[in-house]
């Protein structure tokens, strides 16, 4: 299917919609999930117009992995949690709600986690998200 250039992450990349940024480089952008499933829920996206993992160029795939490593470590440190859960959806059928490839980084478990909120359900307070982003940024190597 053709890439939808009107999706919200494409708009964020073009500067047409806001985001709470934690990291950016030539090929990737990381920002806070606006409806976090737990505090610290962060997204990593490629700048390439790609809907799923299977549409990523090798350059974007490698760059995303590098950014997930870099930002993931900072998310865990900032949220005082020793691990992370990384996941991503490919296609509507698999539960993908934004058709631009992204990794989710969660500083906690998904399975068996009582405190886990629903997926893309409840908007967080922007000031609280910014405060968490500031902590993550301070923990980036
Ligand atoms: P997925 O269902 O895997 O496509 O995940 C999409 C994620 O994007 C969800 O966790 C949403 O909460 C999140 N999301 C949707 N719109 C925005 C936005 N404008 N800024 C940040 N995160 C968003």
Domain boundaries, the chain: 8-138
Mutate to test the pocket of ligand 1, among 7, 41, 90, 97 (most ligand atoms within 8 A of CB): 97
Report which protein residue has its CA nearest ligand 1's atom 15.
34
Atom of ligand 1 nearest to the CA of 12: 19
pTM of the model: 0.97
Question: Per-residue pLDDT tens for 44-77?
Answer: 999 999 999 999 999 999 999 999 999 999 999 9
Active site residue 102: yes
pLDDT (mean) for 127-133? 98
Percent over 70 (pLDDT), the chain: 99
Question: Per-residue pLDDT tens for 79-90?
Answer: 999 999 999 999
Q: pLDDT confidence of 16, banded at 50, 70, 90?
A: very high
d(CA 42, CA 40): 6
Q: Which CATH number fits domain 8-138: 1.20.1560.10, 3.30.428.10, 2.60.120.10, 2.40.37.20?
A: 3.30.428.10
128, pLDDT greater than 80: yes
Q: What is the DSSP letter of 5?
A: T
Q: What is the 33 CA–ligand 1 centroid distance (Å)? A: 6
Name the average pLDDT for the chain: 96
Percent over 90 (pLDDT), the chain: 95
Cα separation values, 92 from 7, 88, 95, Å: 13, 12, 5
In this predicted structure, what is the pLDDT of residue 134? 98
Look at phi and psi of residue 62 and say left if phi exceeds 0, alpha if psi is from -120 to 50, else beta. alpha
State the catalytic residue, choosing from 100, 102, 104, 119.
102
Q: Which residues contact 10 (CB under 8 A, 6 or more apart)?
A: 3, 4, 49, 100
d(CA 64, CA 44): 7
């Amino acid at each position: 299917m053709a890439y939808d250039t009107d999706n919200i992450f494409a708009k964020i990349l073009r500067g047409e919609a806001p985001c709470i940024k934690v990291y950016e480089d030539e090929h990737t952008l990381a920002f806070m999930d606006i409806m976090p499933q737990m505090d610290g829920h962060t997204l990593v996206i490629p700048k390439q117009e790609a809907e799923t993992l299977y549409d990523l160029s090798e350059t974007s795939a490698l760059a995303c992995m590098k950014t997930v490593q870099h930002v993931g470590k900072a998310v865990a440190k900032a949220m005082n949690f020793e691990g992370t859960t990384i996941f991503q959806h490919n296609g509507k059928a698999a539960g993908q709600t934004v058709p631009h490839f992204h990794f989710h980084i969660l500083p906690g478990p998904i399975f068996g986690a009582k405190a886990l909120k629903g997926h893309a359900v409840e908007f967080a307070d922007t000031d609280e998200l910014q405060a968490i982003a500031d902590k993550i940024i301070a923990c980036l190597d």
